[in-house]
Amino acid sequence: MNLFAGRCPGKPEAVFIFLCQKEKPLSQASKQVDRLSQGGLSRILELGFKGKRKESELLVLPSGRWRLAVLLGVGERKGLNGEVFREAVASGLKRISGYKVSRVEVELLDPGESGLSLEEEARAAGEAFWFASYRYSEFKKPDRVFPKEVWILGADKKARDALFLAQVVGEEHCFARELVNKPGSELWPEKFAEEARRSGRRFGFKVKVYDEKALSRMGYNGIVRVGQGSRRPARLVELSYRGASVREGTIGLVGKGVTFDTGGISLKPPQGMETMKDDMTGAAVVLGVMRAAARLDLKLNLAGVIPLVENMPGGAAQRPGDIIRMADGTTVEVISTDAEGRLILADGLYHCRRLKPKQMIDIATLTGACRMALGRFAIGLMGNSEELLSRISQSGALSGERCWILPLWDDYLELLKSDAAELKNGNWGREAGTIVAGIFLKHFVGEVPWAHLDIAGTAWADEAHPYLGRGPTGKGLRLLVRYLEQVEKTR
């Protein structure tokens, strides 16, 4: 799918028209549709179409420029935001998915007094065409056909630039979801590392891969011990993108990469385990963000660190009660082998620290407790820098990937005290599970400004998301790209 600014030079089959609630004046395209439908649009409004959020209607036009007109309600103007337009576009795509539509024109709303710029409106709509049309088709033919061209009417220069951002973010978002959708039999640590190498060659950033022998020499025993239960050994991928001078410093991104998580010896219940291929969503997001940064030519320096393991209960698997000496010397008692993500992230954060970043952000499907606390609507956000947390939270609101900040007070370390080691990797109580994982990671961060994104509740949709469908959501990628854009603008 390609996004274009302006009027389609060919003959588009459909037009999307946004309608605000409680506003009767028709736009230019609306008036044309009303004329071509011989007053059909006006009659629909008279019969009760209010333009409420998520409300949609389809008009068949007997002649003229378009064959179909899709009316999309966006609610009251004062409540407009990017999510409203993403949901509306998804609703429109659902309406036309059963028809042969290869080209669509979209009329943007006059921003008026909404506070939402034409640029943000165009970006949200453009992203939504990508997000809502994604289907995993490696093993099954797609059940719907989606447009190949989208033409955004009324776009000014800033809106045209925003469409380029939407195109890149949309493609990389779908790339990350494609990785997450792959079964564990198709994607394991070395396979992911190969994908990273291909991405680096294609988009021009450096990729270095550490195998299990190198990881052992470096003392990355968190990664090694989690991965030793699988016949597919662990890897650590280091990505390096240079878009600015050395004096600008480097932003470190760390993504959890458990390509399949059985829970190890602390075996997970069988129901729902098939979705545990999503435990590398953080890794997929970091790789997608690096690709997007290179394609957007961001004037920043980035370091991506991706620890990769398969958590299996093989004969060599670590056991509950084992003690690991981490790369920084900390000893950790393993209470549960299913609390493996924090072990590999601890090594990943330590490795990122060695690259001397000015700040670090990690992203992980880390705790089921996060879904219990925040549901599927918010990302858990923690860290040691109020300024960094605030900026990330703002980027989440702009991108449609909202965050909720949780505390990481040292008091919570009480829950990780071990009689046999300096720390344990969890506890069996139900108290503050998401924060406990965060405070564990904080130990390995040092003084570097750091933020932790727990996407366990948002990374996979059991019920259809309004514009992402069921399955992998790619949550976190939009947020991080938006955050990096904001850093570039303010540096």
Residue with token string 């947020």: 479
d(CA 487, CA 12): 39
Residue with token string 């959501």: 473
d(CA 437, CA 144): 41
d(CA 303, CA 357): 8
Pick from 217, 115, 124: which is nearest to 165 by CA? 124
Q: Which letter does DSSP use for residue 322 in this model?
A: -
Assess whether 50 carries a catalytic annotation.
no
- Exactly one of 268, 299, 376, 391 is catalytic; which is it? 268
d(CA 286, CA 477): 7
d(CA 39, CA 16): 17
Helix (H, G, I), strand (E, B) or coil at 316: coil
Q: Which DSSP string corresponds to 261-278?
A: E--TTSPPPSTTGGGGGG
Tokens describing residue 57: 């209607």
How many Cα atoms sit within 13 Å of 361 on the Cβ side?
26
- Exactly one of 53, 103, 256, 342 is catalytic; which is it? 342
Helix (H, G, I), strand (E, B) or coil at 39: coil
d(CA 352, CA 242): 16
Helix (H, G, I), strand (E, B) or coil at 83: helix
Tokens describing residue 174: 């779908």
Assess whether 342 carries a catalytic annotation.
yes
Known catalytic residues are 268, 342
